[in-house]
Structure 1
Amino acid sequence: MKKTLKYIMAALLPLTIWGCHKLDVTPKSLYTEDVFPQTEEQFQALIGPVYTSLRGHYALTYFFMQECSTDEAVLLAFGGNWYDGASYEMLHRHTWTPDHNWTTTAWNDVTGLVGTCNQTLYLLQNAPEGEAKSSSLAEVRAIRAYAYWELMDLYGGVPLDTIYPSPGLQPRASRTEVFNFVASELKAVIPDLKTEVDATTYGKPTKYFAYALLAKMYLNAEVYTGSGKYNECIAACDSIIQSGKYAVQPRSTYLKMFYPDNGPTTQSEFIFAIPYDPSTSDGYMFYGRYDLNRNLGMKYGYSGATVGSNVDPVVNQTTGNGLVNSKPSGPRATLSSFLNYFLEDTDDIRLKQWLYGPQYWDDGNPIMVATTKQGYDQFYSGSDGSAAYVYALNIDTAIQLRQNVSLLDCGNDEIAWNQGARNIKFYPDNSSSTRNQNNDVPVYRYSDILLTKAEAILRGGTATEGETALSLVNEVRSNRTTAAAWTSVSLEKLYEERCREFAWECQHRDDMIRFGKFEDTYGFKTNKDTYREIFPIPTAARTANSKLEQNPGY
């Protein structure tokens, strides 16, 4: 069953909060007493814009903020292509400013999500009382709590504006105050959130969503507030573990968890996932566009690409017989230092999410690519640079900035575009004729809960339910590799395990900060400024709201 949620735009258009909307306008709901939502379906239609807003943000903007600011992902320039005003270079090198494009976009996305939640809660307030209303209010408040967690995590203290219409421009609350607000909101809505884990609740906050977010907050509480809350983290994890609703995905189907046909019946781990559908215009789930090597479109059926009736065609040369060579953009890769976490164990199923080295057709024959000698190597100096050249596709794990080091530019030739291992965890969707994909994206998984509890124990929390940090980690690893179980575990080994388990799942920035690695030198980054553990308040936001003070260092 693919796509259990069909988001429906309803009621008023969402307004941006904290200084970007008119404060003298009295909102008028399209809903009156005789047309207020009555059924579960009608309530879901009303709150649809909340999920639409989250869906449009998570797999694009949030990915860039969480992954491209770490050693996990880097988006390179190619002869000026994809430089995009240094947006990605700044993320990698930790040189972003208050005018940085993605920093501003993320702020607008998430404050907009808060505004949509506030507006939806306003529209629901006079609906008939009942279970449908209570659970819908709880869902929206839970998503708003998540949005405030993102803001707190990315920017530190932010205004706590929970009223619609807004009473006016608000100053920033402290990071600790936002932390406490999110925790209190989640605890308040838990009684009204559903406990069912099936197609009816897939993609919606359940009680276990609330516990997962609490666990995440408590694990990072020392970063957020200066005080650890590891026992509280363990208790939140136990609320999920003891429910018996989830299980670690077996090794044989681990990769299928992330396939285009994933959903509520194809996996046992998703506590909360965001459903994506290529038929929607605001999904922005196109990892294949960014991650797939541009010569692999036909092999993976990218955006309608197909070999037709040809057998092992030469890329850029073979034509006809139904062949369509739709090419991915392919500017995003990983650093070899991050890939090394996976290369240590060739029996680990998670290694198979990476593309590197020689590439082959399904029959085992090498993929051949046609170009010219200078098209292959732009620095070729021979007089026959325009001569035809055919080579076997090989993805080099090393990344060299052959054209311009300062601009993070590899050059614009085949050598450049074939650098850097590529991730296909969210497997390219050959059923989609566009760059949008069907793959649903998990926000919280059961394996994360087990490794979170393990880490909380290692950091000083009290072990419960007979589980140790070692037993919890081995429970995950026994479903990922055929290698022998570990006999000991340290924080460093746990960090490496998290790298393997949650690659491309928007987790890594938080992990690097919590483990004290965000200031390390990696890739082409040397900046060690600790204040960059939070992003600046965007210039545009401060222009709209003069009460917003800038974060230190910016």
Structure 2
Amino acid sequence: MKKLFYILLGVSLLSSCDMELDQQPISAATSETFFQTAHDFNQGLNAVYAVTRGYPDRLLNLSETRSDNLYAVSDGGVRDWEGINSFHRTIASNPYVVDAWQSNYTGIFRANNYLEQLQNKGEAVITDQAVRNRMEGEVRFLRAFFYFDLLRYFGKLPIIDKVVSNNEAMEIPRSAPADVYSLIISDLERAIETLPAPSGYATADKGRANKFSAKMLLGLVYMTRSGPALDVEGAGLGSNEWSKALAQFNDIIQSNEFAFLNSYSSIFNYDNERNKEVIFNIEYSSGSTPIVGSTFPWVLVPDTWFQSLGFGTQGGLMIRPVAEDLLAKYVDEDVRKSFSIQNGYTYGNVVEPRSFIKKFVDITKVPKTSRTDWPINFIVYRYTDLLLLKAECILNGAAGNQATEVDAVVNQVRARAGLTTTLSGVTKAQLLEERRRELVGEGTRWFDLIRSGQVETIMKAWIAKEDVQNQMEDFKKEYILYPVPQSELDTKPGLYQQNPGY
């Protein structure tokens, strides 16, 4: 299957775009001379998509590892994920935290530049207005995507919604989450107006953002805003917009563009990409120069497991064990456990009894030359996730039927997993646990805990039970947010204030 090669463009095109605010943005002469033809605008659009390459790794490092799904304390030495997992106060310079800020703002700067060039030159260069509108919709979706990622990690943000000079950027303070949401929602509403459905794209372009990926993100935005504020300036505003979210999800369901697959493993099959479960994914393709494959499959997988199977080092370093608490939530017949989690292994004469997440690894597809070149897309939004989010909206007061739209969905998900017992009167707590089992390894758990309002209670109890090595810090509500990277604070002292708790 032919794929989008937008990842490739991130290696070279517009590479002068910085990741820090004290650098010269891409808005100057380079852009003025570059955007001259329709082909240039296609390349520029691909360069915005290219910034999403590291998004899956970020979810695994900052959401999955932060949550109660993994007990990822180090066996020795210092690992970058250890401070994330163990709630250290001194992670403002952690490379995962820095990347989350810098990469997303790189995408925002590219999006701003592209929208300006499209406004100034697009009509003369791209005569088809529908094409121009689609390009604008894709970039607005991506800008909203980058801002939402930042908002959930850091809370207050500097809003940069146009091309600015270096000096101008140095004067933009962080804005309240409500103001950031206004930009996100505006971008998504425009994207929904202008983007086609997946069926409206040619085969080679079906991996691009579509109307329903924008609706999925908008629904998740409304849900996240509806979560409690939890006494931090984060993504939860207690806005009670569950019905608004439900309306977006119902539109997606009624489109008949997507479907619930009967086999759990087929959703993630390397030979079944862009299947009917996929609402939006990040595209990768292996075997190209420069490398444009994915890196996320090995992030949570220890090197010694690959080596025990006869492969070379893949880069997963040490094991990040699955929490015993999570393992206990699965029954033996649950196929999601056996598919997603490796239950120990032997390397040489050493027996490793602990489990780890292997959900995205197909050992017949292990790259032969580079660990960064896996040939698998990452599913950002999928249909089962949507159905469970819809059920959550109903349990939070949106209009809907408990039996047919909550219980039936949960039981459908459980039946696909091989479970024969059915549930009735599903509660919020039961739904949260079912999402945990279904979406393990997909980076949703940390955000689910925050949106539920139970993150402090659950994490404190979990640490008390799980931290057998006594290496984790006490959980505080301030750790719902990550710290602003120290490099950003140092750029212009006093412009940003550090998030409390760090």
Taking structure 1 as the reference length, the TM-score comes to 0.77
Quote the RMSD (CA, aligned, Å): 2.8
Residue correspondence of structure 1 range 462-477 to structure 2 within 5 A: 462-463=399-400, 467-477=404-414
Query: In the alignment, what sits opposite 2:375?
Result: 438
Q: Is the 8 A contact 1:43 1:132 kept in 2?
A: no
Q: Match for 1:173 among 172, 175, 182?
A: 175
**Deviation at 1:25?**
8.0
Residue 247 of structure 1 aligns with an amino acid whose one-letter code is A
Q: Is the 8 A contact 2:17 2:110 kept in 1?
A: yes
Query: In the alignment, what sits opposite 2:256?
Result: 244
Distance 1:463 1:48 in 2: 40
Query: In the alignment, what sits opposite 2:501?
Result: 553
1:423-449 residue CA offsets vs partner (Å, 9 max, x unmatched): 221023533212231121111001111
Residue correspondence of structure 1 range 495-510 to structure 2 within 5 A: 495-510=432-447
Q: Match for 1:49 among 47, 52, 59?
A: 47
1:258-279 residue CA offsets vs partner (Å, 9 max, x unmatched): 2333422xx2111011122333
Q: Is the 8 A contact 1:248 1:269 kept in 2?
A: yes
Q: Match for 1:203 among 175, 200, 207?
A: 207
Residue 435 of structure 1 aligns with an amino acid whose one-letter code is R
Q: Match for 1:120 among 111, 114, 137?
A: 114
Query: In the alignment, what sits opposite 2:88?
Result: 95
Query: In the alignment, what sits opposite 2:62?
Result: 65
Q: Is the 8 A contact 1:2 1:263 kept in 2?
A: no
Residue 380 of structure 2 aligns with an amino acid whose one-letter code is V
**Deviation at 1:422?**
1.7
Taking structure 2 as the reference length, the TM-score comes to 0.85
Distance 1:504 1:32 in 2: 40
Unaligned runs of 5+ in 1: 304-324, 360-366, 372-413
**Deviation at 1:177?**
1.0
Moved more, 209-218 or 4-13: 4-13
Distance 2:63 2:21 in 1: 26
**Deviation at 1:23?**
7.2
Distance 1:70 1:32, change over 3 A: closer
Distance 1:472 1:256, change over 3 A: closer
**Deviation at 1:153?**
0.6
Distance 1:25 1:142, change over 3 A: closer
Distance 1:6 1:219, change over 3 A: closer
**Deviation at 1:53?**
1.1
Distance 1:496 1:144, change over 3 A: same
Residues 1:543 and 2:490 are matched in the alignment: yes
Distance 1:249 1:110, change over 3 A: same
Distance 2:51 2:315 in 1: 29
Distance 1:184 1:328, change over 3 A: closer
**Deviation at 1:467?**
4.5
Q: Is the 8 A contact 2:51 2:107 kept in 1?
A: yes
Residue 242 of structure 1 aligns with an amino acid whose one-letter code is Q
Distance 1:328 1:60, change over 3 A: closer
Q: Is the 8 A contact 1:297 1:327 kept in 2?
A: no
Residues 1:517 and 2:464 are matched in the alignment: no
Residues 1:341 and 2:356 are matched in the alignment: no
Moved more, 465-474 or 233-242: 465-474
1:313-338 residue CA offsets vs partner (Å, 9 max, x unmatched): xxxxxxxxxxxx98963422211111
Distance 1:460 1:68 in 2: 31
Paired residues, number: 465
**Deviation at 1:176?**
1.2
Query: In the alignment, what sits opposite 1:212?
Result: 216
Q: Is the 8 A contact 2:402 2:425 kept in 1?
A: no
Larger radius of gyration: 1
Secondary structure at 1:148's aligned position in 2?
helix
Distance 1:23 1:287, change over 3 A: closer
Moved more, 539-548 or 451-460: 539-548
1:381-404 residue CA offsets vs partner (Å, 9 max, x unmatched): xxxxxxxxxxxxxxxxxxxxxxxx
Distance 1:474 1:504 in 2: 21
Distance 1:27 1:356, change over 3 A: same
**Deviation at 1:453?**
0.7
Residue correspondence of structure 1 range 271-282 to structure 2 within 5 A: 271-279=279-287, 280-281=290-291
